[in-house]
Amino acid sequence: MKKTLLTLAGATVLSMSAQAEQFWADNSISVLQGSDYEFNDSDTTTMTLEHVSGHSWGGVFMFVDRHNGGGYKETYSEISPKFTIAKMDGVVSSINAAFTYELGSNPFGAFDNYLYGVGADLKIPGLNFASATFYRAFNDNGADDNQVTLTYGFSSGNFNIDGYVDYSFDNDDGEDQLHINPQVTYNVGPMLGTSNKVKLGLEYSNWNSQFGTAGKDQDAFSLILKAHL
């Protein structure tokens, strides 16, 4: 049933993309170097490919992470389309049907998670973007649960802060999880003589009860270099 819904969602995205207008798109590649990750005691290098775009029907966000450090290797990816249900003026600028497909592979196995929900794009003074989404998550290797995701972005000149907050709850197999993950960067592209953004900075990952395990808390900083293509 989950795979059938995923196939239908994918077909809908492709069909709408073929018939609709793309307003904007951004692609980037990042390299992160950090330590103190809960899943790995060694320094870890992460390479990330990321895409985000806005369309007349909604938008798409997707990325692929590759973690490598101390013999530990993991690939993790998310594909997240959203479909505009209604547009409006005010703090809430649109209501969206939301979907996320999570897939990954690590030394402990592989998984496919499917999240279905509803969200809102928000207009908050001082922020470039903000959103709030409620999901029902159908998890491959654990009990199903609920998730609230907040995203935000702020910039002033070449200075940027963006990130997300995930709160997962109502999981019969484990603890509630709270993951706070901001990036603070500065665009050094002008110093390098390029019109493309090249961001240098820090990412912070604070993840309480990682994967629903009590006492498994992550508190990690990483250096980040992010080039927009």
- Looking at the domain assignment, is residue 157 inside a domain? yes
pTM: 0.88
Residue tagged 């904007």 (tokens): 24
Token pair belonging to 78: 């998310």
Give the span between the Cα atoms of 210 and 91, in whole angstroms.
32
- Looking at the domain assignment, is residue 97 inside a domain? yes
- Looking at the domain assignment, is residue 45 inside a domain? no
Instruction: Give the range of the structural domain holding residue 204, as residue numbers without chain letter.
Output: 2-35+50-228
CATH classification at residue 157: 2.40.160.40
Task: Provide the 3-class DSSP secondary structure of residue 130.
Answer: strand
Burial class (CB in 10 A: 0-12, 13-18, 19+), 24: exposed
- Looking at the domain assignment, is residue 91 inside a domain? yes
- Looking at the domain assignment, is residue 44 inside a domain? no
Which bin fits 212, alpha (ψ -120 to 50), beta or left (φ > 0)? left
- Looking at the domain assignment, is residue 181 inside a domain? yes
- Looking at the domain assignment, is residue 103 inside a domain? yes
Alpha helices by DSSP H, the chain? 2-19, 189-192
pLDDT the model gives residue 40: 65
Burial class (CB in 10 A: 0-12, 13-18, 19+), 103: middle
- 3-state DSSP percent of the chain in helix, strand and coil, to 5: 10, 65, 25
What would the DSSP string read from start to end of 10-46? Answer: HHHHHHHHHHS-EEEEEEEEEEEEE---TT-SS-EEE
Q: pLDDT tens string for the chain (229 positions)?
A: 555 545 545 555 555 555 679 999 999 999 999 987 766 667 899 999 999 999 999 999 999 999 998 888 999 999 999 999 999 999 999 999 999 999 999 888 899 999 999 999 999 999 999 999 999 999 998 899 999 999 999 999 999 999 999 999 998 888 999 999 999 999 999 999 999 999 999 999 999 988 888 888 889 999 999 999 9
Number of structural domains in the chain: 1
- Looking at the domain assignment, is residue 41 inside a domain? no
Give the span between the Cα atoms of 11 and 19, in whole angstroms.
13
Q: Count of CB atoms within 10 A of residue 149's CB?
A: 21
